[in-house]
Structure 1
Amino acid sequence: MQKVTCSVEALEEMADTLWYVRLKPEVPVDFLPGQYLLVVMAEDDKRPFSIANTMNDEGLLELHIGATPDNTYAMQVLKRMQDQGRIDVQLPAGKAHLRAESTHPVILMAGGTGFSYTRSILQQMIADGLRQPVFLYWGVRFAEHLYADQEMKAWVAAHPQLTYIPVVQNGDEQWQGRTGLVHDAIMEDFPSLHDYDVYVAGRFEMAGVAREAFKEKGVVTEQLFGDAFEFI
């Protein structure tokens, strides 16, 4: 992996406890859609965050970081970025990147800021012409955490092959969409997952439950992707 120092070009709160970060590497970097980087806090302390965009002419890296006051893991990273205006990262990491050569229809499942992983993959597929149907399911606890909802709706309007299903676990009376757990919504909507490429990002426990559930729907192991599966 390449180690590079990045200047912090933007650090903005997108929604309550959710932060948008844009980094500018000092030298060109290379990565595949769906890969992640490691923020180097120390040689024995490297913290993974999904890259939320694809390769671009500016060479920028976008991150979506969920950070509550009691989440020191992420808050320490944000504080260092704020205090120093720069950060060391290593990249690329992760094997669950987009299989661009595949012609299978695609299901992207994200929990919370795991959306950043699916956004990178979807952005590349759109750039390549979106040749097959894509279904993006995004699960959050509260509707206000759908920080990219308008972007997703704009992409849907521009691309008939794309379907976007936000799922809110704790929907209030104003929420008119799907509720519950995001993997359950997929289980309800697809009689079989055998013919799909399925990409999963979110908390390890969510990914583990989804993996076992999707096996019941016939998902092909070689077509189920998620970096969490390397650890659980």
Structure 2
Amino acid sequence: MQNVICNVEALTEMADTLWYVRLKPEMAVDFLPGQYLLVVMAEDDKRPFSIANTVTKDETLELHIGATPDNTYAVQVLKRMQDQGKIEVQLPAGKAHLRADSQHPVILMAGGTGFAYTRSILQQLLADGFKQPIFLYWGVRFAQHLYADEEMKAWADEHPQLTYIPVVQNADAQWQGRSGLVHEAIMDDFLSLHDYDVYVAGRFEMAGVAREAFKEKGVVAEQLFGDAFEFI
């Protein structure tokens, strides 16, 4: 991995307590879709965040950071970016990156800002002209947290192989889509996961529950990817 100083080009609130960050590294960087970076707060304090884009010509790095007032882990990172206008990062990290040589249909499952991970993979699949079906399931607690809903609808309209399914856990009367837990939506929609590559991002407890549930649907262990699985 390489350490690099990045200038903060953008830091804006996308939705309540959800922030978009765009970083410009001071040297060229390389990573695979689905990998993450570590924000270096101190030598013994490095904090992981998924990269929400693929390698681009302008070499920027996009992050989606959830930062509620009680989440000092993320709030401190945002404050340093705001105060200093730059941040040190270490990258690339993560083994749950896109398997670009696979031709299995793909299921992407994201919880909350885990969407950043799936967005990077999806962006690369579409750029590569991947023809197999792609299913993106994005689970959030409240509908207002679907901060990239319009973007994903537009991508699905443009790419017939992509199906986008947002799932709201605490849906109100105005919500017209799927509700409940995101992994249960996948369980309901597929008789078997045996023939799919499945990529998972979100809270560790969610990833653990999904892994056990997907085993019941026949997912192949070598085709189930999620960096959380390295730790649980």
| TM-score interval (norm. to shorter) | over 0.9
1:112 aligns with 2:118: no
1:128-167 aligned within 5 A: 128-167=128-167
2: CA distance, partners of 1:138 / 1:218:
21
1:171 aligns with 2:183: no
Match of residue 3 from structure 1: 3
1: CA distance, partners of 2:41 / 2:175:
39
Give per-residue Cα distances to partners, 1:77-130, cap 9 Å, x unaligned. Answer: 000000000000000000000001000000000000000000000000010012
Q: What is the Cα deviation at residue 131 of structure 1? A: 1.8
Q: What letter is aligned with 1:208?
A: G
Q: What is the Cα deviation at residue 55 of structure 1? A: 0.3
SS in 2 for 1:58: coil
2: CA distance, partners of 1:221 / 1:214:
10
Match of residue 199 from structure 1: 199
Match of residue 53 from structure 1: 53
SS in 2 for 1:117: helix
1: CA distance, partners of 2:28 / 2:63:
17
Q: What letter is aligned with 1:188?
A: D
SS in 2 for 1:214: helix
Q: What letter is aligned with 1:40?
A: V
Q: How high is the TM-score relative to the length of structure 1? A: 1.00
SS in 1 for 2:198: strand
Please, which moves more after superposition, 125-134 or 106-115? 125-134
1: CA distance, partners of 2:193 / 2:21:
34
1: CA distance, partners of 2:71 / 2:56:
31
Q: How high is the TM-score relative to the length of structure 2? A: 1.00
2: CA distance, partners of 1:190 / 1:17:
33
2: CA distance, partners of 1:180 / 1:133:
24
Give per-residue Cα distances to partners, 1:60-81, cap 9 Å, x unaligned. Answer: 0000000001000000000000
Q: What is the Cα deviation at residue 142 of structure 1? A: 0.2
Match of residue 210 from structure 1: 210
Q: What letter is aligned with 2:4?
A: V
Match of residue 19 from structure 1: 19
Q: What is the Cα deviation at residue 215 of structure 1? A: 0.2
Match of residue 83 from structure 2: 83
Q: What letter is aligned with 1:213?
A: A
2: CA distance, partners of 1:200 / 1:157:
23
2: CA distance, partners of 1:162 / 1:70:
36
Match of residue 28 from structure 2: 28
SS in 2 for 1:24: strand
1: CA distance, partners of 2:228 / 2:38:
15
2: CA distance, partners of 1:47 / 1:28:
21
1: CA distance, partners of 2:143 / 2:32:
30
2: CA distance, partners of 1:129 / 1:60:
22
Paired positions, count: 232
Q: What is the Cα deviation at residue 50 of structure 1? A: 0.1
Give per-residue Cα distances to partners, 1:167-210, cap 9 Å, x unaligned. Answer: 00000000010000000000000000000000000000000000
Q: What letter is aligned with 2:126?
A: I
After TM superposition, the runs of 4+ consecutive aligned structure 1 residues lying more than 3 A away are none
Q: Indicate the RMSD between aligned Cα atoms, in angstroms.
A: 0.3
% identity of equivalent residues: 85
